[in-house]
Amino acid sequence: MKSVYLDNAATTQVRKEVILKMQEALANSYGNPSSTHSFGRTAKTAIESARKTIAKQMNAFPSEIIFTSGGTEADNMILRCAVSDLGVQTIITTRIEHHAVLHTVEELHKKGSVNLHFVNLDEDGNPDMEHLQRLLAKDDSKKLVSIMHVNNEVGNKVDIHAIAVLAKNHGALVHSDTVQSIGHYKWDVKETPVDFLAAAAHKFHGPKGIGFAFIRKNSGMGCMISGGSQERGFRAGTESFHNIVGLEEAFVSAYANLEEEQNYVADLKHYFIQQVKKEIPGARFNGLSENMDHSTYTLVNVRLPVQPEKAMMLLFHLDIKGIACSKGSACQSGSDKGSHVLSQILTEDEQKKPSLRFSFSIYNTKEEIDYTVMVLKEFMVQ
C-alpha cells in the first residue's frame, strides 16, 4: 500500500539535520541551562545562540524571543497576560481563529475580564477592514487586535501589515497567531508593527513541543508560569534544550532554502488544483485556498460533490488507501462538530458536502498527488 502524507498543516516531517542536532544535544549537552558549571553553561550558551538566530532573521531583539511549548502556549501567554498585566479591556478578533485564540478570548470574556468583539468577514473569510476600523474607534478602552496571518483550515493570507498599521493608528496592541506562517514566509517585526506573535517548530519541519512567542521589548508583559527566572522571567521551568536546538536548526534550514522550497511546494499545490478540476467536476475550493496570491502556498481546502450519507466514509477510505489528510484543524479531527471556519463562509447546503484539507511540503511529489486524485475520483464513482 502506498503511503502519502498530505497533512502538513497539522504537523511536518522532521528534517534529518534537525534529528541529528537533537540527538547530539541529548547525548552530549545534558547539563541544566540554569546551572553555573561548565555543563550548564554549554547548554545555556546554545539556547542563547538559538534565540539570537531567530531574532536576527525576524529583525527582532533576542530578548523579544521567548521559548514556549508551542503555538498554543504562546497564544495563551500573550492573550492572558495582555489582560492581566497590560490592562487590555477589549479584544477584537475573528470567528475563524485557531481555537488556541478563540477559546482563550471566550473564556476571558465569560469571566468578565474583557470585552470581546468579532470582525465581520467577507464571503471568502477575510476580515472587513471598515468594520475593524469602526470597532477600534468604538470607545476609549484599551484594545488588543488578534488576527492570524494564515488561516490553518482554508489558507487565507490576510494583510497583517495593514491590520497592524490600522490598529496602531488607534492606539491598540496587535497579536497574530503566525503558526502557519513563520518558517514559510519572511517576517520583519520592525517593518510590520505587531506587538506579539506565536510560532511552532513542528509546522516547519522541526520537533513537536517547542515554539516561541515574540513579545515586543518594554511591553510590560509579565509571566504566566511562575517558579523560576528562565526565559527572562516570562516562563519558569527548565528549558527543553534539545527541542530548542532542534527548533533553531529547522528555522535556519527553512530560511536558508526558503525561495526554492516555496516554489517547489507552490508548484505542487497548483498541480493539485489543476488535477482536481480536471478529474473531479463539481469540486470547489473553500475560502481563497485556490487563489495562489491570496492564500498560503502550503494548503488547499476542497469541497467534494458527495452526498452526506456517503461523505462520512471519505476520510476512512483515504486512510485505507494510505493517504493522510484532514477534514479541518488536526486539533478538531476527533470532534463530531463541523468546522467553525467553514461554518462562517459556507451555506448550510455547502456544509453538507465533505470538505478536506490537503497540505503539502518539500517531501511530497506530483506522483503522490496523481495517486490521491485517482483515489478521490474512484470514491466519487463507487
**What CATH number should be reported for the domain holding residue 290?**
3.90.1150.10
Q: Are residues 265 and 250 in the same domain?
A: no
- Are residues 189 and 270 located together in one domain of the fold? no
Q: Are residues 31 and 144 in the same domain?
A: yes
Domain endpoint, select from 256, 287, 319 = 256
Do residue 129 and residue 150 come from a single domain?
Answer: yes
Same domain, 162 and 30: yes
Closest by alpha carbon to 235, among 50, 108, 69?
69
- Average of pLDDT values for 111-118? 96
- Number of H helices and E strands in the chain, helices first, is 13, 12
Note whether 59 and 198 are same-domain residues: yes
Count of beta carbons in the 10 Å neighbourhood of residue 240: 18
Cβ–Cβ under 8 Å, residues 329 and 99? yes
What is the residue-averaged pLDDT of the chain?
Answer: 95
Q: What is the C-alpha separation between 356 and 347, in angstroms, rounded? A: 16
Tell me, rounded to whole angstroms, the distance of Cα 244 from its chain centroid. 18
* Cα–Cα dist 377/305, whole Å: 11
288 with 244, same domain: the answer is no
Residues 308 and 290 in one domain: yes
**130-147 residue pLDDT tens:** 999 999 999 999 999 999
Q: Which residue, 113, 119, 115, is CA-closest to 90? A: 115
Q: What pLDDT shows up at residue 329? A: 46
∠ Cα 368 370 373 (to 5°): 105
Distance of alpha carbon 178 from alpha carbon 169, whole angstroms: 22
Looking at the fold, whether 32 and 152 belong to one and the same domain comes out as yes
Partner residues linked to 20 by β-bridges: none
112: pLDDT strictly greater than 80: yes
| H-type alpha helices, the chain | 16-28, 38-58, 71-84, 99-110, 129-136, 160-169, 241-256, 258-279, 308-311, 314-320, 342-345, 348-352, 366-381
- In this prediction, residue 330 carries a pLDDT of 46
User: Can you give the length of the chain in residues?
Assistant: 382
Q: What is the DSSP letter of 144?
A: E
Joined grid coordinates for residue 154: 482554508
Claim to verify: residue 117 and residue 205 sit in the same structural domain: yes
Q: How far apart are CA 379 and CA 368, in angstroms?
A: 17
Q: Which SS3 state, helix, strand or coil, does residue 63 take?
A: helix
Does the annotation mark 331 as catalytic?
Answer: yes
Residues 5 and 368: their CA atoms lie apart, in Å, by 9
Give the C-alpha separation, 298 to 315, whole Å.
Answer: 20
Tell me what percent of the chain is helix, strand and coil, each rounded to the nearest 5: 45, 15, 40
Question: Of 193, 223, 256, which residue constitutes the final position of a domain?
Answer: 256
Number of domains composing the chain: 2
SS3 291: coil
**Is residue 209 located within the same domain as residue 310?**
no
Mean pLDDT is highest, among 189-203, 305-319, 335-349, for: 189-203
Q: What is the CATH number of the domain that holds 91?
A: 3.40.640.10
Task: Answer yes or no: is pLDDT of 23 > 90.
Answer: yes
The share of the chain scoring above pLDDT 70, in percent, equals 98
* Same domain flag for 249 and 280: no
Q: Using 50, 70 and 90 to split pLDDT, how confident is the model at 333?
A: very low
Which of the following is catalytic: 81, 223, 325, 331? 331
pLDDT, one tens digit per residue, over 212-249 is: 999 999 999 988 889 988 998 899 999 999 999 999 99
Question: What angle, 0 to 180 degrees and rounded to 10, lies between the N-to-C axes of helices 129-136 and 160-169?
Answer: 30
In the block, cell 513563520 appears at 182
- Residue-number span of the structural domain to which 278 is assigned: 4-12+258-381
User: How far, CA to CA in Å, does 244 sit from each of 13, 63, 240?
Assistant: 17, 15, 6
Coil, strand or helix: which one is 200?
A: strand
| Per-residue pLDDT tens over the stretch 361-375 | 999 999 999 999 999
Q: Residue 328 has what pLDDT?
A: 58
Q: Of the residues 204, 232, 256, which one is the last residue of a structural domain? A: 256
